[in-house]
Amino acid sequence: MIALEKRRLGRTGMRPKVLALGCAPLHRPDRTDDEAVAAVRRAIELGWNYLDTSPYYGQSERRLGLALEGGWREKVFLQTKTGSHPQRPYDYSAEATRWSVENSLKVMKTEYLDAVLIHDPSDIEDPLRPGRCLDELLKMKEKGIVRHIGLGVRSHEFHKRFIETGHCELVLTYFDYTLLDQSVAKTTLPLARKHDVGIELGSVLGAGLLTGQEPRNHPRAHAMWAWCRDRNVFAASAGRTAGLCGKNTGVSLRQLALHFCMAAKIDGVVLVGCGTRQHVEDVHREATTEVPVEVWRDFRAQFGVGI
């Protein structure tokens, strides 16, 4: 087994483990509070000590607050977002920003947040204008309510604009550093390195395309899945990978996707959304099990991407 590496997160001073828990799946209506609490606490027990959530993710913040009671809060770095609360969507005013952050503090039963990200603005100038979202977050940072400030959005141009303000400490980028697409490696990643900004890689499993189940309507993802299957390196994870089990190396497509992102040249973490204890354990097992060199060699020869 491979130990989870501790990572520098830009100039924030935070040093979390490389695997971070994306808490959006805690919201699912078919999931109970107890199941959500068990998932979070199991992740922490296994060393995942960076937690990401948002008021946009339904019950996620409330259930995360339950999971962090009784001393668990002190074990983790806790991050949420502003600008995407369902009651005030796309409102980046100073008043809405403070309201959102204070509500997150109350719901999660904490006195401070290690990081708050400006979430999915459609116009980056809106939250950055004087007297609006960024300025309010900076005021809260001065008071110690918010420790670090970042941006969570897909647009690489928005990343650039915010990084160049000098106030950006973290960028959550999603979909654009996976086995299927590494476009952010040419834009945001070098800029973040230059400005000492921490990186959070999100949607590293391609919204389900790289989970190990046969993907639909995506030829390249399907080809990768078929490659694993045909070469007997496709392993079932708790019986959920289309019933196919590798006879030799037992490496799944999800494992390759996780290891590829964990090997990225970043000062940062890899976010994986898990909503149950079993899902956390499955991902942890694959992330800490070494992928044979020959598998990467053959995979790269076939698809032009790998470690």
- Cα(237)–Cα(274) distance, integer angstroms: 14
How much is the pTM?
0.91
Q: Tell me which CATH code domain 14-209+266-276 carries.
A: 3.20.20.100
**Coil vs helix vs strand at 175:** coil
Query: pLDDT, tens digit, for every residue of 73-128?
Result: 999 999 999 999 999 999 999 999 999 999 999 999 999 999 999 999 999 999 99
Count of helices and strands (H, E) across the chain: 11, 8
- Cα(161)–Cα(55) distance, integer angstroms: 25
> What residue segments make up the domains of the chain, in order of their start?
14-209+266-276
- Cα(65)–Cα(63) distance, integer angstroms: 5
Best CA proximity match to 66, nearest among 32, 17, 16, 30: 32
Query: pLDDT, tens digit, for every residue of 248-273?
Result: 456 888 999 999 999 999 999 999 99
